[in-house]
């Protein structure tokens, strides 16, 4: 079969391929194992659509697949239109959790997309590839949604990972990251049930959770180290310790294997706060020793009412304990946090603010982030029932909703106008990325004599002081007019610290040891 397939990752960053799309990489490896000619491509929404379309057209693909999110879908729609102008016979489809959840809406809104693949993509894409000349066969597959679909379709459910080859690593070679980070999936599924998440609407596993053999996960990590010189890894599992006690045993086994191997790595993972208790300290110590430098915890709220609305299993006490336990053992905690939702009250945002103060939150995002109501989620359905969705709410505009409390709406409108669209948010995101870089560096090079961490601690403390003082006006004093009066001073104070951090970043990047690493990395990848 001479038909060529291309799977495309559309990134919001101007740097293509920096974060691997592990779903597309997994599909590609599965198809290559079955002797299917397939390319992976990373493109940026910063690129000219016509230029991209011409490049794709020149490669003479018969089938194009896009990994879709609400953030890149508009761009994909325009690109699909250009592709169909150049080659009307090309078959285009979308996939991923977002596409699965919004399949009918996508097909209604973009006539240039031929179908949506529902669920995981390995086996379905192979089936499509083997029948690429017979669209009637493809559209009759139970996990393919087309405009002609008249019967209920089902989501492809993966029940076994042992037959899956390791993901292809095309994007690693393209990566412009200082420390090339590989994504690794040790499992699929999620044992949580957050109301704002669409995972359980599009559950791609027959069970809530299925795991890979830890020896196989370890072997993949070592392979990536040996072949690509990768020492920084992100476990992109829903929660790395799923499903509870079994998950903890898996973590222990993995850490022991890493320590026995004797190479210094830097690992990041997602965890749930309620899973780790005081009696898990030895496990956390083991994780720190094995190179776990960062954990991401979905804290989401500092009040019990919102935690209940989100169906979070962790209590406020659980959240405090988890942050304390991991921080105590030198593992940096990054948290997800939602300041506002449609049902927020003065009391809930006050409690949220107090929680952020108690943990000395230094990220601006934590103080201002409103919930996004993703289409089809439980909380979106509830908001719809309560008539809180605005007329301009769509699956592509998940922030268009009404607040029950009109004072909260007034506060959020101020936040949106003055902060969310300001340069400060760019600074905040840049700091977030820089911290990841620094923590990887400190983990890999064990630079204990460096003042890097101490200097950053000072900057983080200064940001916390600025944010806690300013947002006290909004969340404690409930005084928007005063917040407007103080805004310029607030902005200038925060910007001053961010610029200091940027100067510090430049000095860091010019560090001799760091430059040596970059040189070695480029040489290594250049030989692949």
Q: Give the pLDDT band (50/70/90) at residue 177.
A: low
- pLDDT > 70? residue 203: no
Give the per-residue pLDDT at 229: 87
- Cβ-Cβ contacts under 8 Å for 169 (sequence gap 6 or more): 20, 25, 182, 224, 227, 228
Residue 414 CB coordination number (10 Å) = 17
Least confident of 54-58, 182-186, 198-202, 446-450: 446-450
Give the per-residue pLDDT at 237: 92
- pLDDT > 90? residue 213: yes
3-state secondary structure of 107: helix
Least confident of 27-31, 63-67, 195-199, 448-452: 448-452
Please tell me which residue, 365 or 451, carries the higher pLDDT value.
Answer: 365
The domains of the chain are located at: 5-145, 177-337
Give the per-residue pLDDT at 16: 58
- pLDDT > 60? residue 523: no
Q: Give the pLDDT band (50/70/90) at residue 149.
A: confident
Least confident of 157-171, 229-243, 329-343, 347-361: 157-171
- pLDDT > 80? residue 154: yes
- pLDDT > 80? residue 515: no
Query: How would you class 434 by CB atoms within 10 Å of its CB: exposed for 0-12, middle for 13-18, buried for 19 or more?
Result: middle
What is the topology classification, in CATH, of domain 177-337? TIM Barrel (3.20.20)
Tell me which CATH homologous superfamily contains domain 5-145: Cobalamin-binding domain (3.40.50.280)
Mean local confidence (pLDDT), 291-305: 97
Q: Which of 299, 401, 422 is nearest to 356 (CA)?
A: 299
Mean local confidence (pLDDT), 509-526: 66
Contact 514, 441 (CB under 8 A): yes
Mean local confidence (pLDDT), 439-461: 84
Distance between start and end Cα atoms, the chain: 28
Q: What percent of the chain has pLDDT over 90?
A: 79
Q: Say how far apart CA 254 and CA 45 lie, in whole Å.
A: 38
Mean pLDDT, all residues of the chain: 91
- pLDDT > 50? residue 1: no
Give the per-residue pLDDT at 275: 92
């Amino acid at each position: 079969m001479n038909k060529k397939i291309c799977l495309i990752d559309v990134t919001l960053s101007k740097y293509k391929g920096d974060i691997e799309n592990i779903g597309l990489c997994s599909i590609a490896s599965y198809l290559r194992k079955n002797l299917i000619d397939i390319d992976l491509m990373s493109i940026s929404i910063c690129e000219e659509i016509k230029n991209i379309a011409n490049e794709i057209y020149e490669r003479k693909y018969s089938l194009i697949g896009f990994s879709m999110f609400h953030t890149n879908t508009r761009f994909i729609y325009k690109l699909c239109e250009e592709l169909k102008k150049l080659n009307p016979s090309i078959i285009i489809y979308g996939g991923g959790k977002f596409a699965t959840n919004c399949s009918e809406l996508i097909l209604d809104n973009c006539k240039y997309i031929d179908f949506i693949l529902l669920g995981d993509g390995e086996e379905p894409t192979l089936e499509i590839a083997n029948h690429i000349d017979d669209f009637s066969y493809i559209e009759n597959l139970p996990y393919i949604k087309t405009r002609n679909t008249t019967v209920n379709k089902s989501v492809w459910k993966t029940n076994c990972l042992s037959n899956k080859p390791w993901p292809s690593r095309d994007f690693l070679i393209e990566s412009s990251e200082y420390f090339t980070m590989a994504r690794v999936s040790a499992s699929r599924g999620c044992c949580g049930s957050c109301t704002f998440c669409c995972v359980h609407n599009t559950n791609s596993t027959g069970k809530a959770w299925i795991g890979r053999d830890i020896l196989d996960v370890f072997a993949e990590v070592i392979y990536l180290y040996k072949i690509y010189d990768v020492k920084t890894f992100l476990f992109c599992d829903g929660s790395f310790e799923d499903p509870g006690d079994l998950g903890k045993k898996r973590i222990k086994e993995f850490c022991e294997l890493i320590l026995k191997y004797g190479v210094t790595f830097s690992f990041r993972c997602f965890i749930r706060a309620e899973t780790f208790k005081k009696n898990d300290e030895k496990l956390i110590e083991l994780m720190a020793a094995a190179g776990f430098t960062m954990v991401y915890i979905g804290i989401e709220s500092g009040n019990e009412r919102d935690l209940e609305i989100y169906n979070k299993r962790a209590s406020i006490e659980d959240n405090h304990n988890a942050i304390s336990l991991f921080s105590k053992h030198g593992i940096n905690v990054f948290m997800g946090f939602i300041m506002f939702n449609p049902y927020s009250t003065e009391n809930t945002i006050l409690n949220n603010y107090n929680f952020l103060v108690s943990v000395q939150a230094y990220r601006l995002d934590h103080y201002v982030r409103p919930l996004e109501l993703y289409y089809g989620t439980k909380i979106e359905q509830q908001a719809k029932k309560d008539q809180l969705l605005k007329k301009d709410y769509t699956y592509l505009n998940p922030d268009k909703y009404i607040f029950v409390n009109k004072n909260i709406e007034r506060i959020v409108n101020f936040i949106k106008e003055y902060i969310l669209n300001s340069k400060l948010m760019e600074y905040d995101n840049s700091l977030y990325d820089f911290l990841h870089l620094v923590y990887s560096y400190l983990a890999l090079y064990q630079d204990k004599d460096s003042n890097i961490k101490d200097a950053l601690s000072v900057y983080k403390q200064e940001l916390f002081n600025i944010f806690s003082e300013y947002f006290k006006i909004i969340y404690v004093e409930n005084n928007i007019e005063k917040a407007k009066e103080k805004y310029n001073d607030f902005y200038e104070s925060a910007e001053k610290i961010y610029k200091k951090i940027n100067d510090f970043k430049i000095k860091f990047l010019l560090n001799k040891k760091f430059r040596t690493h970059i040189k070695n990395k480029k040489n290594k990848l250049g030989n692949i």
